[in-house]
Chain A
Amino acid sequence: MDAPNTLEIISLLLEVAHVSLIILVVSAVLGLLLGSLLTMINVKDIPVLKQFTVVISSFTRSVPIIIQLFLVYYALPPILANFGIDASNLSATVAAILALTLYHGGYLTEVLRAAYKAVDKGQHEAADSFGYTPTKKFFRIILPQVVPVALPGWGNALIHLIHDTSLVFALGVADIMGRAELIAAASFGMNQVTVFITVAIIYIIFTFLSDGMVRLFEKKTRKYKLDSGLNARGM
């Protein structure tokens, strides 16, 4: 393969962009679910499990994501083998999604917990005094107020996740970065800078789409943002 020109580089990279995008979207959705679950355990103060959530969130925030990726990839099959599950052919893509989900969930726990705590106590009391069931209270009163507070933090968490999906090629996933490495290695020191600047631009587009989406949600949920909790204390 001789050195491809800029247009060829762009098309070569876009060929595998869907791989990065799938990993990103699946991890973002699963991570949000995991983060919500961990937050629920945390605020409901379930013993033992709560300590577990604190450890997970501390681990995911203290250890470099690259180690988390490798740990899941190498440690999960032997752990599952103990339970009689054969995961010896765990694919790099699945391992990457699992690691990123755990990381994103652990990161989001902090964001969601702070947002939940920001809802004024009076809101809970008012809902209780109206005789709302706990489920109804959560979905009609609490959640709409948690969302606008949590959105900026969630936006930042998404940016981190987008950046960290660029590392899955270290496990051997054939994503944008994996393809970029191949092109850079095959073109004998030609146009490597072009290749990685193109990769940067693709990721910048991902980032701005994500930012735009979060801003749209912020606009839609602004009316639920009460001047209570944080704002009332003059923060």
Chain B
Amino acid sequence: MLNFEILVENFFGILNVVPQTVALAVTIFILSILVGTVMALIQEYNVPVIKQIVMLFKLFMRGTPLIVFIFIMYYSLPGIVSFFTNLLNLDYNPHNMSPVVILIVAVSLTVSSFQAETIRASFLSVSYGQIEAARSLGYTPFQAFLRIITPQALVEALPEFGNAFLVVMKAISLGFMITVVDIFAEARLIAASNSYYVEAFIVAALMYWGIAYIVVTLTNKYESSLARRT
């Protein structure tokens, strides 16, 4: 049966990598919101050519499993980057690119293609009267966008963002395939070192479950406070 000493030992062993896992998740999460917003705007404003590229990319991402995309990036990103650095005559050798950077790029791109939908819907939920009111007060379109539309769209999108953050957390667990160490990778390393596989995976699973519980609780708190305000 389960060895409790090992469970406790693993818990503290894996706890060491929780901060860096969360930090990585937050980085990817913020990047995916930024890229997702850009994608949403390109679609909204009908930017020719780029819009078609974004649509094609979304179709590609819908059909491609994350792990496949991570491998594609792992093998092609250094080449792509070196192509551009050569173009600009920069002195940078991308062939020792850190796998963490590759994971960040791959997961951010994947999640942002889903985020774009959420963000688009939340921008569309801001009523047109708001924009008209801002314009009549003499705001420039850019000011209106930044000060009037974005705050309201954010309020709409925040509950969804809690969900998206958990998706990112889970997605990072595939980093072990390209030697990035997160909660799951650490659990595997510990399991390999002391041969208590079940204990290590149970602790890792409970960690993720705990983090999910915290995020969901925070999101619900926020939602109920919103409900009170409106």
Contact = CB atoms under 8 A, between A and B. Distances in A.
Interface string B194-206: 0001100110110
B20 interface: no
Contacts of A65: 170
Contacts of A58: 209, 212
A194 B75 CA distance: 10
Q: Name the residue in B174, B187, B198, B202 with the highest tally of chain A Cβ atoms < 10 Å from its Cβ.
A: B198
A33 interface: no
Interface stretch (A67-75, A113-121, A223-231): A67-75
Interface in B59-76: 59-60, 62-69, 71-72, 75-76
Q: Name the residue in A59, A75, A180, A196 with the highest tally of chain B Cβ atoms < 10 Å from its Cβ.
A: A196
B173 interface: yes
A6 to B, nearest CB: 15
Given A67-B184, A67-B204, A75-B202, A204 B209 contact: no
Contacts of B60: 200, 204
A197 B65 CA distance: 11
A192 B65 CA distance: 17
Interface residues of B, number: 36
Q: Name the residue in B68, B69, B72 with the highest tally of chain A Cβ atoms < 10 Å from its Cβ.
A: B68
Size category of the binding interface on chain A: 35 or more
B166 A163 contact: no
Contacts of B187: 67
B168 to A, nearest CB: 11
Interface in A102-130: none
A200 B209 contact: no
A71 B201 contact: yes
Contact of B68 (A170, A199, A205): A199
Interface of A: 58-59, 61-68, 70-71, 74-75, 78, 82, 159, 162-167, 170, 177, 180, 184, 192-193, 196-197, 199-200, 203-208
Interface of B: 1, 59-60, 62-69, 71-72, 75-76, 79, 166, 169-171, 173-174, 177, 184, 187-188, 197-198, 201-202, 204-205, 208-209, 212-213
The 6 closest A-B CB pairs, nearest first, are A204-B63, A62-B212, A166-B65, A64-B173, A207-B63, A163-B65
